Structure 1
Amino acid sequence: MDRLVKPDVKEVEMIFEKTDEKCSATFRLTNLMHAMAVAVSLTTTNPSSPFSIDIPLSTIPPLSSSTYTISLSHLSDNGRLFSTAPEAVAVVTSMLLAGKSHNCDDLRRLFLKPGPHVFNDAVIPVSVVGPHFAEFLISNHIPRSRSLLNKAISRCLPSQLTDLLTYAVECGNAESVAVLIDAGADSNSKDSNGKSLVPLAIRAGNEINVVKVLLASGCVIENKVDLVLHEAAAANRVDLMRLLLEFIGEDDADVDSVNHEGRTPIHVAALHGHVDVIRYCVSMGGNPNVVDRKGWTPLHCAASEGQLRAVESLLAECGCDAKRAVDREGKTAFAVAMENGHVELGDLLHWGDVLFRAARVGDVHGMASCLTVGGADVNGRDQNGWTALHWAALKGKVKSVEVLIDNGAEVDPVDEVGYTPLRCAVESGHLQVALFLVARGSCATLDTIKASKGLFAPPRLLDSFGKLTKHVL
């Protein structure tokens, strides 16, 4: 004889409904013996199992059946246990002498003594099924969840599978996304706005593999509807932009595509301060000067949110002309920044330019206003790497030079090709400015002194300059 009892199922399936309630399932064991009662011991094969059995020890009369309930407590406490071995109920039996009663202690002692009287009758697999348990597995990223999830969704309707796919995309669970698509979930399902699952995957977070799985499954992107490049720009995901542009193809890929506000991905990146995205879009042919329906350039967008690094990046890409662009209300990016309280952008967007102009023409009052009221950076540089002091020296504006130095200007700033304000003054023939700069601490170089030899200037000034710079020779 190989067994004493027979289970009525090959597998126990529990339908899990709510995460804060227990779920349970029943199964029946039938005693196959005609004249003898059978003792039954039921245990879970996994020592750390979250399942419990209502009657772990019992007796079944001859040719009779008994029903047992196996339960699963709520998952918020026990979810981690699903990373262990597969769940099953081990059915162990032993024959009992007729007419003799046994209590639980007697039965326990009976099964503690191994021998020919003990039979391993069955191992009944236990699984949890239904969309609620599938959601639990997806959201908790349970290890070994592929087999668990496949079982959990085996009783799901097609519509439930697609709902679960959307949930898996939201959770950024690439493995679950693949399992659900293989099981028949519709990877081309749309939301109420007609968008595919790809924008949702981008918004979900850092899992690029979710997007890869969706694209590999045949998910169709309609860029004008899905605006996937805008979504990737908002998420600061250059890697996704590369992937999407490659997938969409050259004919449909357009980094200057616009949303309902007329904004490109560069606008979106500027609003969020995503400098890497701005640079990438420009490198792919994107226009950083496109205006939206309000007449805003990306620079307006960055200025409105006080995105300093984005402002700097856009000025590097667009040049200073971008500062003068006005929206439909006649506002520059500077005006937008000031309206929104981002005074720290004033120097970059306006006061720096005013300071340079004032330094060039010798407008001392204008310079003072820029430095005290506008907060302009006295050592700020233009696109050529020149400071206001370079320009004042070049134009021979002694008063401008004096005001700038008195307000903290560096005396010897060097531009991209090695020019200092002193050299600008000398090569422009403004030795009076050169003398003033040397007197205030500027250090003459050999190139500067050589340049002064060819100048037509009053001997007195040349002699003075030579005496002040004799230590260089």
Structure 2
Amino acid sequence: MDRLISLEPSNLVAVRIEQGQKCYGELTLRNVMYTMPVAFRLQPVNKARYTVKPQSGIIAPLGTLTLEIVYHVPPGSFLPDSFPFTDDSFLLHSVVVPGAAIKDSTSGSDTVPNDWFTTRKKQVFIDSGIKIMLVGSPVLVQLVMDGSMDELREVFERSDPTWKPADSVDSHGQSLLHIAIAQSRPDIVQLLLEFEPDIEFQSRSGSTPLEAASGCGEELIVELLLAHKANPDRSESSSRGPIHLATTGGYFEVLRLLLLKGANVDALTKDGNTALHLALNNRRRDCTRLLLANGADTGIRNTRDGDTALHIAARLGDEQMVKLLLQKGVNKDIRNKTGKTAYDVAAAHGHVRLFDALKLGDNFCLAARKGRTDAVKILIEKGIDIDSRDEDGYTALHCAVESGHAEVVELLVKKGADVESRTNKGVKPLQIADSLHYAGISRILIHGGATTTSSKPRVASMQVSALFENRKIRKEIDSKLAPMKRRLSKARAVRGSFDRSLPLAVI
């Protein structure tokens, strides 16, 4: 026989250390003798680091006794220098107790005489194989930070599952998952997930592991967390959810994964923005397209300013995104909290090139058709494309001509409107004027450079500006135009309008 006492569950004792708590582990000694009690004494070589309770005692035949090994934190350092920390500095002395030596052979007190373990007449067994392994939150945190995969697994396997070691946190309130994510270690995340951590644990800042991974663009980690049923939507205490964080960072693949797993595409941040608002504000065009393809609502107004996605794109002068949103059917007439449309926002920020993209050509044509010269002037001054078209390909000049508004026609020609522009059916302004017998307007167009059906200008050399300064021509236009308008209003039902379906010879 080489020993009197067996160690349970093994000779490796896991000592759990936690900040602000007593650091200890337990070891069970079993007397392997069938008929005789056994005395023991367990001594740490480094008495400043460990104490044992009880340090000595007597165990009945085949009986057991559980000892408590307390670890004393070294001054100035909560942890030792290396991990996992093991120590062979325990000596276990055991000796058979004579039947008459003590009446109570089950005693576990520290009253066993020391000379029992030193008398040469007795057979004393000495075992120095007891090891200590430190486990607990600080150890696990350090191992994750160091990326020590094998040691990390060993500590988990040696830890009592009732401690929930996978839910350990550091001094900043970060879980092991958060730390692994910050280290960009999907392999460690996968290992941690084997030990079933709280996958929705919120750090002190309020973010879940999925939110942290999404904000870092960790595609593989996001996939792992989603495979373990992580919630793809914003947690209650977070300011931004996974899709908001992925969008802001421009992490397209992460965003795609989240949307595939059912993340709410229109979910709001705590301050009331959708992912679409954030995508446009951060110029994440790929993410914008992905959100729109997944049904993002373009009409949602954010909480602070009441801006829609179109307001944001207009403010930034992003013509490409403005056109995309318009293609998606966004309502360009929605006003924000200050009463501004997307057009107003674009104008306030000097984004002239957006005026036509925002389909202000419709308003321009409408003003020309109604003869609102002042409105036409304002739009021209704001930089609108003077040749912008409506859905039928009509420019403001076409509209002014068909409505018989000579003053607007005169203004448009003077400002450089294309007198030779054609509608979708190939009709020129002069053809409309001739078909409606607007001789005065026809003359304005001809002097502005319009060609006749013979493809030759009726007036070639006279400058348009000189024509407009000639009072006789003005009077002639006005005198002839008035009766024509009256005749036209009787001939046409509700409004003076050129019949766009009227067949004309296209020059």
Name the TM-score, length of structure 2 as normaliser: 0.48
What is the Cα deviation at residue 212 of structure 1? 0.8
Q: What is residue 264 of structure 1 aligned with on the other side?
A: 274
* Match of residue 357, structure 1, among 366, 374, 377: 366
Tell whether the 8 Å contact from 2:314 to 2:322 is kept in structure 1 after alignment: yes
What is the Cα deviation at residue 401 of structure 1? 4.0
* Match of residue 260, structure 2, among 240, 246, 251: 246
For the aligned residue pairs, the C-alpha RMSD in angstroms reads: 4.5
- How many residue pairs were aligned? 305
Correspondence 1:272-311 to 2 at 5 A? 272-293=282-303, 294-311=305-322
Tell whether the 8 Å contact from 1:272 to 1:307 is kept in structure 2 after alignment: no
In 1, the alpha carbon distance for the partners of 2:396 and 2:146 equals 63
Tell whether the 8 Å contact from 1:389 to 1:421 is kept in structure 2 after alignment: no
Correspondence 1:185-196 to 2 at 5 A? 186-192=198-204, 194-196=206-208
Q: Tell whether 2:210 aligns with 1:198.
A: yes
Distance 1:194 1:398, change over 3 A: same
In 2, the alpha carbon distance for the partners of 1:427 and 1:201 equals 69
Q: What is residue 94 of structure 1 aligned with on the other side?
A: none
Distance 1:242 1:412, change over 3 A: farther
What is the Cα deviation at residue 247 of structure 1? 1.6
Q: What is the SS of the residue equivalent to 1:324?
A: coil
Tell whether the 8 Å contact from 2:215 to 2:242 is kept in structure 1 after alignment: no
Q: What is the SS of the residue equivalent to 2:386?
A: coil
Letter in 2 for 1:208: E
Q: What is the SS of the residue equivalent to 2:261?
A: helix
Q: What is residue 217 of structure 1 aligned with on the other side?
A: 228
In 2, the alpha carbon distance for the partners of 1:200 and 1:428 equals 69
Higher mean alpha-carbon deviation, 433-442 vs 401-410, is at: 433-442
Q: Tell whether 2:248 aligns with 1:234.
A: yes
Higher mean alpha-carbon deviation, 236-245 vs 288-297, is at: 236-245
* Match of residue 379, structure 1, among 378, 387, 392: 387
The structure in which a higher percent of residues are helix is 1
Q: What is residue 336 of structure 2 aligned with on the other side?
A: 327
What is the Cα deviation at residue 327 of structure 1? 2.7
Higher mean alpha-carbon deviation, 192-201 vs 224-233, is at: 224-233
In 2, the alpha carbon distance for the partners of 1:397 and 1:438 equals 16
Distance 1:357 1:219, change over 3 A: same
In 2, the alpha carbon distance for the partners of 1:224 and 1:384 equals 50
Correspondence 1:398-409 to 2 at 5 A? 398-409=406-417
Distance 1:342 1:428, change over 3 A: same
Q: Tell whether 2:189 aligns with 1:177.
A: yes
5+ residue gaps, structure 2: 1-138, 157-164, 456-486, 489-503
Correspondence 1:45-84 to 2 at 5 A? none
In 1, the alpha carbon distance for the partners of 2:145 and 2:323 equals 45
Q: What is the SS of the residue equivalent to 1:302?
A: helix
In 2, the alpha carbon distance for the partners of 1:399 and 1:303 equals 33
In 2, the alpha carbon distance for the partners of 1:355 and 1:436 equals 20
Larger radius of gyration: 2
Letter in 1 for 2:302: D
Q: What is residue 467 of structure 2 aligned with on the other side?
A: none
What is the Cα deviation at residue 414 of structure 1? 5.4
Q: What is residue 425 of structure 1 aligned with on the other side?
A: 432
What is the Cα deviation at residue 302 of structure 1? 2.7
Letter in 1 for 2:312: C
In 2, the alpha carbon distance for the partners of 1:420 and 1:199 equals 58
In 1, the alpha carbon distance for the partners of 2:273 and 2:298 equals 11
Q: Tell whether 2:399 aligns with 1:391.
A: yes
What is the Cα deviation at residue 213 of structure 1? 1.5
In 1, the alpha carbon distance for the partners of 2:184 and 2:398 equals 54
What is the Cα deviation at residue 174 of structure 1? 3.6
Tell whether the 8 Å contact from 1:412 to 1:421 is kept in structure 2 after alignment: yes
Distance 1:163 1:412, change over 3 A: farther
Distance 1:135 1:297, change over 3 A: same
Distance 1:362 1:421, change over 3 A: farther
1:359-413 deviation line (CA, Å, top 9, x unaligned)? 2233444333322x31222233445554333433443445434543443444455
